[in-house]
Structure 1
Amino acid sequence: MESDIVYLFQFHRTKLAPNSSPFCLKVETFLRYHKIPYKPIFTQFQRSKQGLLPFIVINGKEIFDSQIIINELENKFNLKPQLSSKDSAISQLTDKAIDNSLANQILYFKIIKNKNLYL
């Protein structure tokens, strides 16, 4: 693996969306927005040591959980938020709402609404 390249382990892309996981999408969007060099690795079965996707490997270090990944990358690449305190609070609220709400809706749609697709 190359030095200072983020290897992003995530679910495969679909025809309808860049990624079926909001957590994978969040990390990839963060990487793209900040122009951090990364290589996506699409997998269904390979997981972090904690059993999670997404996870990254950078310089031999494995980091899991989308928010921990973002925090670690902010520190590593010295990224300073350009938001006011108010905008930062709104950003955090939006992030948590998406994590807690959108993920549940996706699971509902995939498992309950379309259960016949997986039988």
Structure 2
Amino acid sequence: MTSDYPGRTRTRSAPLVLPLGRSMKPLTRAALHTIVKGIFAGAAERLRLRGDGFTAQADLLDHASAHWLRHTAGSHMADGGTDLRTVRDNLRHASLTSTNPYLHAPDDQRHRETEEKHRIDW
């Protein structure tokens, strides 16, 4: 047994994503990719049916993937104030350098936070 998270244990043979239908085989990475791409393609098609005003959004969804969701989750964690070290660990990045691109805080907000939390009482 291994533990990826404190207080939780799982066996190495337990699939991350459970099988669909009657199959007892876990989904492969390729199968999961195909499912996610299909969902995004369906959403893109529905947007296109709404009219030309939705073409750009539909085109964006055509490029979406499971990895895109990973980046989105990282960005939302960082934008929501989650400590960058936690975001790094959740995304299994080796260093903060890999995680820094997920930060999208505007310069004014970054400056205010720096002033508030990095005071030198002279």
Question: TM-score, normalised to structure 1's length?
Answer: 0.28
Question: TM-score, normalised to structure 2's length?
Answer: 0.28
Q: Which has the higher helix share?
A: 2
More contact order relative to length (CA 8 Å, sep ≥ 6): 1
